[in-house]
Each structure stands twice: as structure tokens, then as C-alpha cells.
Amino acid sequence: MNYEAKLSDIIASLPEIQGGFLFAPERGVYGNQATGITNVDDLLQVALKFSKIFSQFSVHFHDTGNFRVTFKDLVLFATVLEQGQWLFLFYRPSLSPSMVNMTVQLALNIQSDDEEEKDILEITPPLAEPTPTSITPENKARNTGIAPESKLNGPLNTLKNELSKYIGPVAELIFEDFREEWETKFSPTPENLPELIRVLAEEIDNANDRKTFKKAMETFSGKE
């Protein structure tokens, strides 16, 4: 299937779609129609992170094939194609998810499924308006036992924001996943932050960026 042509058809069909791109492990980013949104290096980092997340989730959730990250002014939609290829779309929040799903299904000749929504992993960073299912610092604090007034909230938010500079919008999911694991294995105290910093740094693929991240986090790692 000519996915580049299909991507063009999808973008042209709805004015709310701002752009998109394709990704394949052997080709990297291709068919890029998101030049006004961000650069190719950032798109590649997003694609690599989504591929990694998918490989982790698919072990336990075999039906998960679509991802949607909701920001304040933009939504990132990702769907797995054949042979490890991915299709990514950027669209305005005013466009309904069901319309995006239907448009993608029609363009790719995917059989419609009434249970389609259950297969979408929804990720809502703090930039979005809070909803009952949103991931917000306050909700995560209540779930993990860290109170909003805790001295850890400032450092944790700084870690998450710094991480997003290097791995993009999936930083929210990556951070919360590792933070929960950190809180399970260690006492969530400032003294144990270096361990969280260490595992987060390993998620940054570029060695120079990883070094810069660690340097920026020295305030919390006891290396002032």
C-alpha cells in the first residue's frame, strides 16, 4: 500500500489536521508533512519512543494499536500499520477522535469495528484541561501518596519538564511509568532522586543529550 499517498489523502480530507508523517524502523521518518510543526529529529524521537512504548504494552495488551496524546492546542494520533510501520497525525482538539478514526479507517481500508475506541491508549499531559481520566500532577500525587504540598513535587515536575526537552510529548508517559516504579522500589524521598534521574536518563537515546540532562539534574543528584 502507498502509505504516503494515503497520508496525503487523510490530511487533505479534514482541515483540522495540521500535518503528519510516517515511520518505519528501516527507513526512519518519511512522507513528512509536519514541517511547520517540528523538525525531523524531534519526529524521529517521538516515533522511536512510541515504538518502544508499543512493544512494552503489547506484551500485556494485545489489542492496543493506536495512541493519542492530547495537548492544549494540538493532538498527536499514532496508529500501527503493517510490518512495524507507523502513521502519525497532528490535529486540532476541536476535531472529534471518532472522525479521525473513521477517516483513517476509510483511507487505509480498515474494517470498521464498534469496539475501536477500546484499542486506543489515551495520554493526557498536564497542558490539557483536566478531565476525569486526565493525568495531572495532582491526580498522580493522590494515587501515589505524594501530597501536592510535598517538597518532592517541585523536583519531580522539573525532572519531567527537562525530560520532555529530549524525548518530546511521550515524556509524560515515560516519566509517570518510571516514577511509579521508583516509588515502589524506593522510599520517595529527595535522597533517592538520583536513582530516578539515572533511569530517566537512559530513555534519552542521544549520548550528548543524555549527558546534558544529567548535568542539568545535578541539583537533585547531590553533585552541586
Half-sphere exposure of 106 (CA within 13 A, CB side): 11
Helices (H), the chain: 3-13, 40-57, 97-108, 137-144, 153-167, 171-185, 193-201, 207-216, 218-221
For the full predicted model, state whether its pTM sits above 0.85. Answer: no
- Domain positions in the chain: 3-123, 137-221
d(Cα 124, Cα 172) in Å, to the nearest integer?
8
Half-sphere exposure of 143 (CA within 13 A, CB side): 12
**Cα–Cα nearest to 107, from 206, 20, 172, 176:** 20
d(Cα 160, Cα 164) in Å, to the nearest integer?
6
Per-residue tens of pLDDT for the chain, all 224 residues: 889 999 999 999 999 999 999 999 888 999 999 988 888 888 988 888 888 777 766 555 455 567 888 887 899 999 988 877 899 999 999 999 889 988 998 998 865 544 444 455 555 554 333 333 333 444 444 344 455 456 788 888 888 888 888 887 677 778 888 888 888 888 888 888 889 899 888 888 888 988 999 888 887 765 44
CATH classification code of 3-123: 3.30.450.30
Can you tell me whether residue 125 is helix, strand or coil? coil
Q: Count, in order, helices (H) and strands (E) of the chain.
A: 9, 6
